[in-house]
């Protein structure tokens, strides 16, 4: 295919690169694969991005948005050629509002540059990937990136208020948390550029804590360190950061940038923060757990230069390993935090089996594993061993109840492995969502979702989803009956948010209220799975006497009703996964029941505010807190509104026959 490059150049203000040397520079990222684009657009602003996307849409040319190219999963490799749209020149911090604690930025802003701009104002931006000195905020948004501070503050999506994006049809749209209806903004974050290209973002900034204390603890074995992490989490201690490194990682760092790490089989790097009393309380709790699990050293760094030195070492881990071989393979899997000791043991067994020696680095507080394996890609046999080990490590994470990505995304390299994590029904729903926004399949094609007929690597992974309750089975059967007859579906919880007149107009009301049980309370990981029909009062009454707190408002109605109507935007921060029922009777699980997962489209957050028009929530898995949260309980009535064009597209993806909760769709639908 030969592109009419001159025509593309005339449509833009920025240059278009076509020489072979330039194209080669945009053919790869931080992963294994390479593919040559046919042209590279150096966008000079959002209008250039819009024109480039519109030009590609008119000519059916695939395109890939790209920032700094630090992606570690092949996310910005142009596998179908076409056009790479570089966002590097969109690098302005447009404003920082200290009163609202909000920064408005373009996607090419380097993460560190926002940190540096916020610091003199007493503020900071929480997401801090290890590559924060070079990675861009657009890439962070596309991958829903994390970093060490994720343990306390969550991934990128937890800090986004609104985005401006060029959609696959070439229109420029703005999506906000304040918009009524499904959370389209949350769908775009973490979608890896497959649904739209973000050109501006409104990001939350936080107040710099009064005190931060960094702790370095040494252990005689990795198992002891992992057991300590599991104990800290299970006790409800909430450090700002909880990182782990094995001996190989520590030794490579000390040879590269001496940070003062001890000689030990494993170390934990922990940070606590808050007022003097809060930080001292958490420091002593961490000290107690380290002692209980056999720590051979415990060092406290209170002053900034010493703390910075320890962190400079931690953040240089990749560079330190890159000095030892031409290539470093970085895996990114998640396991429930109480299974970290088992994961570490089995990971080492897999490494021996494949004759590789990964250096182990963990965002341990999140259960996020980063085995980093050095190799030489020119040695085909060695490269295949490293890739095979990586696949088996991801498979192990799924077997242990985790996820195949905690912060790096899926991209090209983990695409097939998505079939280990999600049921075929969920993957089919992902495809329909992609097609609803990008019917021509041009936006970063062949990423994130397995291709039709593509089998996962290796043997099938036996999964046995927990059976539905009898009440849920009855509801599913009734919905299937209604779907077969093409009858409208009117599904509610208690009906506390449904106008009575509308309810009386329906021939039959299906209620989730009988679905009122707690399906699983994972005490060690502070996670609960509850059915949608349980009321908020019932859920809190069951959990709070045991010291578990749901960061959701105590309002009338059911859990499903609170999620579906989203009376408060903060609800999104505790939702991990959902088991949903589609209007044709299909049941599938979206999200993952771990505190950190960025695999696939964020459909659990998308469904917030959807008023039951897209799917019926059967169960929700929520993150719990060890202390009572400050959440608003006196809330205004949630808003409904007419569906916008992008909501209509999603409606067709979820409910093509238009059967579900028509009453809530608003005027003109």
Residues 369-385: pLDDT tens digits? Answer: 999 999 999 999 999 99
Q: Is the pLDDT confidence value at 65 over 60?
A: yes
Does domain 470-665 fall under CATH 3.30.465.10? My reply is: yes
Residue among 7, 89, 94 at smallest CA distance from 47 = 89
What's domain 5-86's architecture?
2-Layer Sandwich (3.30)
Q: Can you tell me the distance from the alpha carbon of 480 to that of 617, in angstroms, rounded to the nearest whole number?
A: 15
Up-side HSE of residue 18: CA atoms within 13 Å toward CB? 10
Residue 25 CB contacts under 8 Å (≥ 6 apart), including other chains = none
Average pLDDT over residues 571-591: 96
Question: What is the SS3 assignment for 455?
Answer: coil
- DSSP E strands in 80-170: the ranges are 83-86, 93-97, 102-105, 123-124, 160-166
Q: Can you tell me the distance from the alpha carbon of 227 to that of 292, in angstroms, rounded to the nearest whole number?
A: 10
Residue among 333, 409, 334 at smallest CA distance from 143 = 409
Give 586-617 pLDDT, tens digit per residue: 999 999 999 999 999 999 999 999 999 999 99
Q: Can you tell me the distance from the alpha carbon of 106 to that of 94, in angstroms, rounded to the nearest whole number?
A: 7
Question: What is the SS3 assignment for 277?
Answer: helix
Residue among 445, 440, 433 at smallest CA distance from 58 = 440
In this prediction, residue 668 carries a pLDDT of 34
DSSP calls for 53-65: HHHHHHHT--EEE
Residue spans in the chain of domains classed CATH 3.30.70.2740 = 325-442+453-461
Tokens of 81: 């050629």
Give 243-254 pLDDT, tens digit per residue: 999 999 999 999
Q: Is the pLDDT confidence value at 453 over 90?
A: no
DSSP calls for 313-343: HHHTHHHHHHTTSSEEEE--EE--GGGHHHH
- The phi-psi region of residue 377 (left if phi > 0; otherwise alpha if psi is between -120 and 50; otherwise beta) is alpha
Residue among 117, 133, 535, 329 at smallest CA distance from 125 = 117
Question: What is the SS3 assignment for 381?
Answer: helix
Q: Can you tell me the distance from the alpha carbon of 219 to that of 74, in angstroms, rounded to the nearest whole number?
A: 35
Banded model confidence at residue 669, pLDDT cuts 50, 70, 90: very low
Does domain 93-207 fall under CATH 3.30.465.10? My reply is: yes
Give 380-427 pLDDT, tens digit per residue: 999 999 999 999 999 999 999 999 999 999 999 999 999 999 999 999
What's domain 325-442+453-461's architecture?
2-Layer Sandwich (3.30)
Banded model confidence at residue 667, pLDDT cuts 50, 70, 90: very low
Residue spans in the chain of domains classed CATH 3.30.43.10 = 5-86
Q: Can you tell me the distance from the alpha carbon of 333 to that of 233, in angstroms, rounded to the nearest whole number?
A: 18
Give 7-17 pLDDT, tens digit per residue: 898 889 889 99
In this prediction, residue 382 carries a pLDDT of 95
In this prediction, residue 184 carries a pLDDT of 97
Residue spans in the chain of domains classed CATH 3.30.465.10 = 93-207, 470-665
Residue 542 CB contacts under 8 Å (≥ 6 apart), including other chains = 518
């Amino acid at each position: 295919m030969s592109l009419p490059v001159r025509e593309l150049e005339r449509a833009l203000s920025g240059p278009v690169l076509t020489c072979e040397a330039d194209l080669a520079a945009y053919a790869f990222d931080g992963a294994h694969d390479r593919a040559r684009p046919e042209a590279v657009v150096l966008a000079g602003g959002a209008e250039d991005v819009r024109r480039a996307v519109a030009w590609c849409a008119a000519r059916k040319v695939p395109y890939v948005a790209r920032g700094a190219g630090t992606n570690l999963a092949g996310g910005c490799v142009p596998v179908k050629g076409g056009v790479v749209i570089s966002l590097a020149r969109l690098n302005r911090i447009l404003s920082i509002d200290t009163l609202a604690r909000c920064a408005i930025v373009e996607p090419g802003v380097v993460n560190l540059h926002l940190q540096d701009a916020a610091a003199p104002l007493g503020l900071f931006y929480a997401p801090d990937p290890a590559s924060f000195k070079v990675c861009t905020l657009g890439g962070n948004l596309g991958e829903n990136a994390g970093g060490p501070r994720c343990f306390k503050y969550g991934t990128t999506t937890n800090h986004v208020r609104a985005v401006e994006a060029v959609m696959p049809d070439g229109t420029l749209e703005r999506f906000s948390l304040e918009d009524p209806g499904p959370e389209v903004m949350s769908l775009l974050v973490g979608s890896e550029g497959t649904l739209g290209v973000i050109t501006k973002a409104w990001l939350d900034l936080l107040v710099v804590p009064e005190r931060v204390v960094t702790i370095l603890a040494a252990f005689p074995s990795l198992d002891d360190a992992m057991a300590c992490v599991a104990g800290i989490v299970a006790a409800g201690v909430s450090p700002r950061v909880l990182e782990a490194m094995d001996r190989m990682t520590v030794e490579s760092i000390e040879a590269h940038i001496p940070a003062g790490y001890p000689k030990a089989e494993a170390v934990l790097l922990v940070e606590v923060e808050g007022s003097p009393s809060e930080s001292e309380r958490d420091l002593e709790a961490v000290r107690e757990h380290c002692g209980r699990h056999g720590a051979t050293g415990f060092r406290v760094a209170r002053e900034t230069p010493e703390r910075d030195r320890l962190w400079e070492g931690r953040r240089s881990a990749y560079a330190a390993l890159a000095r030892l071989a031409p290539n470093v393979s970085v895996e990114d899997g998640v396991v429930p935090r109480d299974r970290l000791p088992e994961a570490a043991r089995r990971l080492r067994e897999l490494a021996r089996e494949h004759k590789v020696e990964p250096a182990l680095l963990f965002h341990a507080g999140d259960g996020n594993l980063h085995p980093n394996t050095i190799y030489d890609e020119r040695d085909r046999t060695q490269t295949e061993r490293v890739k095979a080990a990586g696949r088996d490590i991801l498979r192990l994470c799924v077997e242990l109840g985790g996820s195949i990505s905690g912060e790096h995304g899926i991209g090209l390299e983990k695409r097939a492995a998505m079939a280990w994590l999600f049921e075929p029904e969920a993957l089919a729903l992902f495809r329909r969502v992609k097609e609803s926004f990008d019917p021509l399949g041009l936006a970063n094609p062949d990423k994130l979702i397995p291709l039709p007929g593509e089998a996962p690597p290796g043997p099938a992974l036996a999964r046995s989803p927990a059976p539905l309750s009898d009440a849920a089975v009855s509801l599913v059967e009734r919905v299937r009956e209604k779907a077969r007859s093409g009858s409208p579906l009117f599904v509610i919880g208690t009906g506390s948010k449904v106008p009575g007149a509308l309810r009386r107009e329906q021939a039959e009301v299906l209620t989730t209220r009988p679905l009122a049980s707690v399906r699983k309370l994972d005490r060690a990981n502070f996670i609960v799975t509850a059915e949608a029909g349980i009321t908020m009062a019932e859920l809190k009454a069951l959990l709070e006497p045991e010291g578990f707190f749901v960061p959701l408002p105590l309002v009338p109605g059911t859990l499903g009703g609170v999620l579906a109507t989203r009376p408060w935007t903060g609800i999104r921060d505790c939702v991990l996964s959902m088991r949903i029922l589609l209007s044709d009777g299909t049941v599938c699980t979206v999200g993952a029941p771990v505190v950190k997962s960025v695999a696939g489209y964020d459909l659990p957050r998308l469904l917030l505010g959807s008023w039951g028009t897209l799917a019926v929530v059967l169960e929700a898995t929520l993150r719990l807190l060890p202390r009572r949260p400050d959440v608003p309980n006196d809330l205004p009535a949630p808003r409904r509104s007419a569906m916008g064009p992008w909501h209509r597209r999603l409606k067709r993806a979820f409910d093509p026959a238009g059967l579900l909760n028509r009453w809530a769709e608003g005027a003109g639908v």
